[in-house]
Amino acid sequence: MPLLEVTGLKKHFGAPGSAAVKAVDDVSFSIAEGQTLGLVGESGCGKSTTGRSVLRLIEPSAGSVRFMGRELTILPAGQLRAMRRHMQMVFQDPYASLNPRMTIGEVLEEPLIVHKLHDRATRRRLVAEALDMVGLNPSYAARHPHEFSGGQRQRVGIARAIITRPKLVVADEAVSALDVSIQAQILNLLKDLQKELGLTYLFVSHDLAVIRHVSDTIGVMYLGRMVELGTREEIYANPRHPYTQALLSAIPREHPGQKRERIVLQGSIPNPAAPPAGCHFHPRCPSCMEVCKTAAPTPVKVSAGQTVACHLYR
């Protein structure tokens, strides 16, 4: 049984009467324990909203989220709060998510206090341990967030996420604000912690090179829909959806011998409030057919580990 199983997830925004923005439109995926699912797509595709809806930081409009054998979408507030220690989030901007007036020690101790975990001495020990695990000197507990670099602050953000020993961590653009050299360090830290603590990641990023580095399976989103979902190997060796093919053609190859023509997409992402009919991607798709303009493609299994929503694979 997967640790996390998301089925038919929808999140619609907008006032009644006006056209709703279908930020997440019937998205399904699952993640096995200890694995990483990378969710990728351009800004506004609904990947962050998916991550937040899974944790119920925002309320999904419809669908099912099963986590550790429980249905999260119908969990009463009190039980949801108790579940939160098992599912944590790492945000893009570590500075914005850290209270500048608190010491790092207080920042890290807070989740333990909120969840009424351990006595004071144990909490202090766990704070020192967490700092050590993310590669920071435990003496830094006395310092304030402004005394740290961006990379160090993200290490603090990660320490805060793991201190309750969660099962699932949702990372939303966790390295996007950092220099490329620091990005690699943080990604490697996340991988090391995954092994050490058996963590499961839902890793949200617009950057396919980052997604390639961390993911076991990859979901590609476009305007609220999952257009392709598969193992890392399948997606990179054999991308089927024209959008995935275009995204992949824009990043450096993993092996110099690999050949891949650069596919330049026409136009920009349409307004999510008024997405194109049929396949949302059709105005930009180099393979667009008549049927694509009116009928939305449903996901089709094209191999053991790969699902594609595109009329080319009917």
Site residues for Mg ion per CB under 5 A = 48
The CA distances from residue 213 to 197, 217, 232, 235, in Å, are 19, 11, 10, 13
* CB contact at 8 A, 142 and 164: no
| Token pair belonging to 273 | 């409030």
| Contact positions with ligand SF4 (CB under 6 A) in 233-252 | 241-242
Tokens read off for 89: 């989030």
The token pair that represents 120 in the structure block: 């004071």
Rounded to the nearest whole angstrom, what is the least distance from the CB of residue 128 to ligand SF4 in the complex? 52
- Residue 99 or 287 with smaller CB distance to ligand SF4: 287
Handedness of CA 229, 231, 236, 240 (dihedral sign): negative
Q: How far is the CB of 313 from ligand SF4 (least distance, A)?
A: 8
In this chain, which of 6, 72, 208, 279 binds ligand SF4, going by CB under 6 A?
Answer: 279
**Binding piece for ligand SF4, criterion CB under 6 A, among 40-48, 75-83, 135-143, 276-284:** 276-284
Under 8 Å between Cβ of 37 and 31: yes
Report the residue number, 164 or 244, with the smaller CB distance to ligand SF4.
Answer: 244
Whole-number Å distance between alpha carbons of 172 and 204:
5
One of 281, 302, 306, 307 touching ligand SF4 (CB under 6 A): 281
Query: Any idea of the CA torsion for 290, 291, 292, 293, to the nearest 10 degrees?
Result: 70
Q: Which of 188, 237, 289, 294 binds ligand SF4 (CB under 6 A)?
A: 289
Which single residue brings its beta carbon nearest to Mg ion? Answer: 48
Which pair of tokens denotes residue 290?
């008549």
Q: Which residues of this protein are in contact with ligand SF4, per CB under 6 A?
A: 241-242, 279, 281-282, 285, 287-289, 292, 297, 310-312
